[in-house]
Amino acid sequence: MAIVDLSEVRKSYVKGREEVEVLTGIDLAVEEADFLALMGPSGSGKTTLLNIIGGIDSATSGSVQVSGQDLAAMSRRQLAKWRSENIGFVFQFYNLLPVLSARRNVELPLLLTKLSGKQRRSNADTALEIVGLEDRARHKPGELSGGQQQRVAIARAIVADAPILVCDEPTGDLDRDTADEILELLEILNRDHGKTIVMVTHDPKAASHARHVVHLDKGQLSTETDEEAA
């Protein structure tokens, strides 16, 4: 069964007096433990689609079923709780809280759980260990390189054991070698930890790490969808 199941998803914005349609009837199914790359030119609607899958934006019409939940039927409060349990987010610019150490950043999603402080710290340390940053737990984001910050962001995304990771250009701000390291880490999370990953990228080399690639253009999935990655 598809863990992400989109049907006839449309999204439009009102800009001034004009209605701009960003997504024009998307049908997409992502199987559990898949690693899907969403490619497309700038403005094609791929980030909007990712946001809808992640439950931080809503479709104008159509059906959005993720982890067996109809997101359109959920309140903002229910969506917040659902996100905390089901989705891990990785952004292009890391979006870490600069005032917190790496460990405290990773611990953030666990503040919403009933875990004790000790258990939270332990889980955060485990997540940091998975991304290879156990020795940087006390460092603040400003004291870490871009690649290290993105690893912290990935640790934050996986610390609550969310089954789905949505990654928006996770290597867009990194040099080639560091980008490869991050992509390999995502591959490991997909392969060894069974995480379903939906990644937006405009970089074909990044997309090559995914199991499947779909292309989005002018709000529509192109015919070259479901192409098996190399």
Partner 1 sequence: MGLMWANLFRRKTRTFLTLFSLLVAFLLFVLLRAVAAPFAGGGVSVDGADRLVVTSKYSIIDLLPLSQLAEIQRVPGVEAVTHQTWFGGNYQDPANFFPKYPVEPRAYFDMYPEFAIDPAQLDAFESTRTGIVVEEGMLARFGWSIGDRIPIEGDIWALKDGSRLWQFDLVGTYRHRDPGEGAPVALLMHYDYFDEARSFEEGAVGWYTVRVSDPEQAPAISGAIDALFENSPSPTKTSTEAEFARSFAAQIGDIALMATGILSAVFFTILLLTANTMSQSLRERIPELAVLKTVGFSDARTSLLVVGESVLLCVLGALLGVGLGALLLPVASVATQQFMGPVSMSLDILLQSVAFAVALGLVVGALPALTAQRLRIVEALRRG
Q: Which residue has the tokens 């995914």?
A: 210
* End-to-end Cα distance, the chain: 24
Instruction: Write the CB contacts of 78 (distance below 8 Å, at least 6 apart in sequence).
Output: none
Using rule CB under 8 A, residue 16 touches partner 1: no
Interacting span for partner 1 (CB under 8 A) from 14-22, 83-91, 187-195, 212-220: 83-91
Q: Do residues 170 and 186 touch, judged by C-beta distance below 8 A?
A: yes
Q: Three-state SS for 107?
A: helix
Interacting span for partner 1 (CB under 8 A) from 14-22, 34-42, 65-73, 95-103: 95-103
C-beta of 83 vs 212, nearer to partner 1: 83
Q: Three-state SS for 157?
A: helix
Using rule CB under 8 A, residue 69 touches partner 1: no
Using rule CB under 8 A, residue 112 touches partner 1: yes
Using rule CB under 8 A, residue 85 touches partner 1: yes
C-beta of 47 vs 148, nearer to partner 1: 47
Torsion, CA 70, CA 169, CA 131, CA 79, rounded to 10: -20
Using rule CB under 8 A, residue 104 touches partner 1: yes
Instruction: Write the CB contacts of 55 (distance below 8 Å, at least 6 apart in sequence).
Output: 66, 71, 74, 79, 82, 83, 86, 87
- The residue from 46, 83, 212, 215 that contacts partner 1 (CB under 8 A) is 83
Residue 5 Cβ vs partner 1, minimum distance, rounded to whole Å: 22
Q: Which residues bind partner 1 (CB under 8 A)?
A: 51, 54, 56-57, 76-77, 80-81, 83-85, 89, 91, 93, 95, 97-100, 104, 108-109, 111-112, 156, 160
